[in-house]
Amino acid sequence: MSQETETACTTCAATAGTETHKSRQYKYRMAVLSASMLVLGIALGFLSANIILIYCVFLASMLSAGQFILPRGARGLMKLRLDMHFLMSTASIGAFIIGAPAEGAAVMFLFFISMLLEERAEDQVRHELEQLIQLEPPSATIKMKDSEACIPTSEVMRGDVLIVRPGGKIGLDGVVVYGETSVNQAPITGESIPVTKIIGDKVYAGTINQEGYIEVEVTSKSNETVLSKIVELVADAKNKKAPTEKLIDRFSQKYTPVMVTLTILLGLVTWILGASPVDATYRALTLLVISCPCAFVVSIPVSIVSSIAGSARDGVLVKGGIYIEQVSKTKTVAFDKTGTLTDGELSVKEVCLHNNFSREEVLITAATLEQMSEHPIARALVDVTKNEDMELRETFGFSAIPGLGIEGKIGDATYLVGNRRLLMEQSIMLDEPSKHSCGVGTLVYVAQGNMHLGTIVLADSLRAGAVEAVRELKSMGIRTIMLTGDSETVAKDIAQEVGVDEYMAELLPEEKVAAIEEISTNGSSIMVGDGINDAPALATADVGIAMGAVSSDAALETSDIALMQQDLRNVPGIIKKAKKTMRIVRQNITLSISVKLFIGIFAAFGLVSLWMAIGIGDMGLTFAVIANALRLVRKNT
């Protein structure tokens, strides 16, 4: 790449976020100023300085932090929506009025610190999304007629050819048309091991070319790539609230007015029982500070969004908090068979030999006749001969027999390859199925003239990790069931091999939907499928999980959760994460309520100061629940 082109790409990659940075830096400076004035005011108090000077210093402390709180509290009052900003503004101003400026300044400063802690927590979760966004290359190098050019990815069109050098980031989704390499797909699929890519293989925007030079024909525009859809889904997921989050929102709207009323009543009762107006007001203000639902309100959304962000890092896209909560209640997981529990591609399982012919002779004969066909059976037969270095022969006189098989000549002999009915119609003698050990699967019969050479058993092989995933689900006490349109015999064989508790075979799409509806009557259900032909069942289940969404646009659209790589072990993984998320939510709710209740009781009897109320009952508690929730952001938690 020329120096000019490299510079252009670097320029394209530059981004700006100075306004947000300046705003945050200003807040930090105000926090330092507020703290400094608070400490200075306390020091002046010990030195018995002029009371007006002390008030002014504490007022400076309060206003430095309060400029971000007081206006919001005033707006809430005008709209009759008494939120936590109103509570803290009232407590701080009230403390100044009754002659406790130190406490008033401390309340405002400490609440401001708790706000910064919340923002910091949101930043960390937002950072996960920004990391995804930053994966999207701003520019790409495209191949021209006699040169190359670096242009913004938004201007690259389908059919353009990208040039990707070793260490470079692939700009858009496409297909390799030249070269061979290995690609780090971890940003998209979560796979830790680089994947080999040769001509004809798909590659994705945001992945990294490890070692070889490749050229990629673009198949998707910048706003249509898998990565852009992932970013959009994760961003949208934050707006789909879990039932617990909605409950907290409704609770918060009614909670604050109730607590303001109780605070006023506490002040009046305390005054009536003999306390001075200052003491009664101070005690009421202390309860007002403790009643601030900051930690309680923040704990749930931070937990849910942290879980969604952490799952995205593991290659699992959750489309909303509602699905995290639903997955945590899972009682049954239903799997589609083809393409989910199995690879979805036929392979030779075994070869039954007849009339003293060898395995190699049977396979070569079948593959020779099938080598010109694109049928899945033909591909499986040709693949096994290639893998075992068998040399195919020439065939002629080839003809297809619809619904039965094919006929062709190899040398002077005529051969037949097809189903059982083909050989029976040709009056070729067959051993009874009970007399040989041909396994369960698709049977392909091979004959020469009137002689049966052998029977090839083709079967869909189990997907790597399927057995482990089912075993782990069962160890968690979750019922597993397989739903398939395949025959009873094939279904039974796969079900036994993978270890599911139950299976249902020969199901039409509408029958799969009915099966899911029945399963869901016994508790929350998950349906795992490929996201295309399983769309109705995925939509019917409480939660639909699509496999290998990196290769299917439909999977991203129809599912509630999408696994970016075809690894079923992510299914028990997301259930464990969902359960942990809801466990942390419950911990945070319990901690918030119990600590505030405990301190509130002491405050009612005048045993807690404003300092303690804000330091422990609000800021300290907020910090604790946020720290607990952010554990969910970590990978593989």
Tell me the C-alpha distance between 53 and 238, whole Å.
48
Task: Provide the 10 A C-beta neighbour count for residue 229.
Answer: 18
Tell me the C-alpha distance between 307 and 317, whole Å.
11
Helix H or strand E encompassing 391: none
Structure tokens at 408: 């062709």
What residue type is assigned to position 365 of the chain?
A: T
**What is the arrangement of strands in the sheet containing 214-218, beginning at the earlier edge strand?**
148-152, 139-143, 161-164, 214-218, 174-179, 202-203
Chain centroid to CA 411: 57
DSSP E strands: which ranges in 65-190?
139-143, 148-152, 161-164, 174-179, 181-184
Task: Provide the 10 A C-beta neighbour count for residue 435.
Answer: 10
Residues 6+ apart with CB under 8 A from 65: 30, 31, 34, 108, 109, 111, 112
First to last CA, the chain: 42
Residue whose C-alpha is closest to residue 118's, from 622, 471, 605, 621: 622
What residue type is assigned to position 69 of the chain?
A: I
Tell me the C-alpha distance between 502 and 62, whole Å.
66
Q: Three-state secondary structure along 562-578?
A: EECCCCCCHHHHHHHHH
Question: What size, in residues, is the chain?
Answer: 637
Task: Provide the 10 A C-beta neighbour count for residue 64.
Answer: 23
> Taking a C-beta distance cutoff of 8 angstroms, is the pair 116, 299 a contact?
no
Phi, psi of 399, deg, nearest 5: -150, 145
144-163 b/e (C-beta count within 10 Å ≥ 16 → b): eeeeeebbebeebeeebbbb
Dihedral over alpha carbons 53, 54, 59, 64 (to 10 degrees) = 100
Catalytic residues: 336
